[in-house]
Amino acid sequence: MAQRVAIAGATGAVGTELIKLLEQRNFPMTELRLLASKRSVGKKLPFKGEMLVVEEMTPDAFEGIDIAYFSAGASRSLEFCPAAVRAGAVVIDNSSAFRMDNGVPLVVPEVNPEAAFDHQGIIANPNCTTIQMVVALKPLHDAAVIKRVVVSTYQSVSGSGAAGMTELEDQVTDYAAEKPLTNNVYPVQIAFNVIPQVDVFIDNGYTKEEMKMVNETRKIMSAPEMMVSATCVRVPVFRAHSEAINVETEKKLTADAAIKLLQNAPGVRVKDLRKPGGYPTPHEISESFETWVGRIREDISVENGIAFWVVADQLYKGAALNAIQIGELLLSRKG
């Protein structure tokens, strides 16, 4: 069933990926309406051989729309999502605005697809780091019940938008030219460095990004008792996030059993060769739809534990692709 689709925040990093992926996946549409703030009105963006003009996002801009993809930030989502719902659209929101709202499903189609149909007009897209982790956790949890997760992330600068990518590029250029390095996006130099802080600190010593992984994982997995601890780190990589994950399970899983489970899991690609280069890296998997898993081994520090490495393109699976997959899931019920 062809849909009338709007993208709110069409000129941003995720918005432009949404446009590209809607075309690439041949999403059934009769109209694509591009919306953004007043300063972007009149810009033209390519779609299926045409140049679509960006319109201003206003409460009335969603009239006649069936699916509205929001990637304009939490404040804009809070302001405009209710108007889109009143206009009759189903909102798929990429911001943090509604993720922990009890009345809003938080959906990763490979993990909790049924939740998408229990909405009241808004479906939330999880945080990028959470999405790729739960895709890999799901088959292991179903087989052996995960009790505890410890994750360290290695997050690319594109997670900070275009400004983060520009800052890294400028610092590398200035370093090569032996010029002083300046930083505006990050609190310290990002080039040739790692920063153990993503988002702001909160009272318990964790950052907001780290607590998103804790709370969103429990909600998506319907596992409120699951223990999760995260350390989120920004690294000088342009695109795709990586994660080192250790899980403790109720039942014993061998490494071979975990590999087979992951090989058969939807949305997962396993690259697990115990030799140099026999694992996924962010450079090689950029613009890939799958969540890649490697370095799968038994955790020798606990009785029932598995350690593994997960890499995914956070602009695709971690944002735009997951949102489109939610839309595809909704349409699958409509026939």
**Domain around 82:** 3-126+319-334
Of 134, 94, 130, 135, which Cα lies nearest the Cα of 327?
Answer: 94
- How distant, in Å, are the alpha carbons of 117, 154, 158, 205, 261 from that of 231? 32, 9, 18, 11, 26
Give the pLDDT score at 2: 83
- The answer on 214 and 155 residing in a single domain is yes
Residue 62 burial (CB count, 10 A): 25
Of 297, 292, 308, 133, which Cα lies nearest the Cα of 226?
Answer: 133
The tokens of 195 are what? Answer: 């920063």
Catalytic choice (81, 119, 128, 232) = 128
- The answer on 287 and 269 residing in a single domain is yes
Active-site residue 81, yes or no?
no
What are the pLDDT tens digits along the chain (335 aa)? 789 999 999 999 899 999 999 999 999 999 999 999 999 999 999 999 999 999 999 999 999 999 999 999 999 999 999 999 999 999 999 999 999 999 999 999 999 999 999 999 999 999 999 999 999 999 999 999 999 999 999 999 999 988 999 999 999 999 999 999 999 999 999 999 999 999 999 999 999 999 999 999 999 999 999 999 999 999 999 999 999 999 999 999 999 999 999 999 999 999 999 999 999 999 999 999 999 999 999 999 999 999 999 999 999 999 999 999 999 999 998 75
Angle of the 128-144 helix axis to the 208-220 helix axis, nearest 10: 40
Residue 287 is part of a domain; what is its CATH number? 3.30.360.10
- The answer on 111 and 168 residing in a single domain is no
264 DSSP 8-state letter:
T
- The answer on 287 and 304 residing in a single domain is yes
Active-site residue 241, yes or no?
yes
For the chain, the domain total comes to 2
Of 215, 206, 198, which Cα lies nearest the Cα of 153?
Answer: 198
- The answer on 134 and 110 residing in a single domain is no
42 DSSP 8-state letter:
T
- The answer on 120 and 241 residing in a single domain is no
Any residues with CB less than 8 A from the CB of 98 and at least 6 apart, and which? 77, 81, 104, 122, 124
3-class DSSP state of 71: coil
- The answer on 301 and 192 residing in a single domain is yes
Angle of the 321-334 helix axis to the 13-24 helix axis, nearest 10: 40
Half-sphere exposure of 293 (CA within 13 A, CB side): 30
Give the pLDDT score at 1: 75
Give the pLDDT score at 335: 56
- The identity of residue 28, as a single letter, is P
- How distant, in Å, are the alpha carbons of 29, 119, 226, 270 from that of 265? 29, 26, 21, 10
Q: DSSP characters for 97-132?
A: SSTT-TTS-B--TTT-GGGGGS-SSEEEPPPHHHHH
- The answer on 28 and 7 residing in a single domain is yes
- The answer on 141 and 112 residing in a single domain is no
Residue 35 is part of a domain; what is its CATH number? 3.40.50.720
- The answer on 209 and 107 residing in a single domain is no
- The answer on 144 and 101 residing in a single domain is no
- The answer on 106 and 33 residing in a single domain is yes
